[in-house]
Amino acid sequence: MASYASEVKKELTSIKVHPEHAKAELAAFLRMNAVLSRHDGQMSLDIVTENPAIARRIFSLIKTAYGFEPQLIVTRKMKLK
């Protein structure tokens, strides 16, 4: 069973965003979940989330706000018991 927070996040990510508001929403996500770093002399913006709906939303917001598709790298966290 999904947690209440997960259900709310999923519902919020399904709401259509107005293009003028995409940058503001993206800024909020980046403030909470992003790290600016340098890899092999190139800058990268690393965003970490455990929620696939949030990852899709961030990807979509970047496309809407800036008109390009960001590179996406997916890693899975091992669940050790």
Region 13-42 average pLDDT: 90
Measured between alpha carbons, how far is 18 from 21 in angstroms, rounded to an integer?
5
- Identify the pLDDT of residue 58: 92
Q: Is residue 35 a contact partner of residue 46, using CB atoms and an 8 Å limit? A: yes
* Residues 64 and 19: beta-carbon distance below 8 Å: yes
pTM above 0.85, yes or no: no
Would you say residue 81 has pLDDT above 80? no
Helix or strand run (H / E) with residue 36: strand 34-39
The stretch 29-39 carries a mean pLDDT of 90
Q: Is the pLDDT score of 25 beyond 90?
A: yes
Among left, alpha and beta (phi > 0; psi -120 to 50; other), residue 72 is: beta
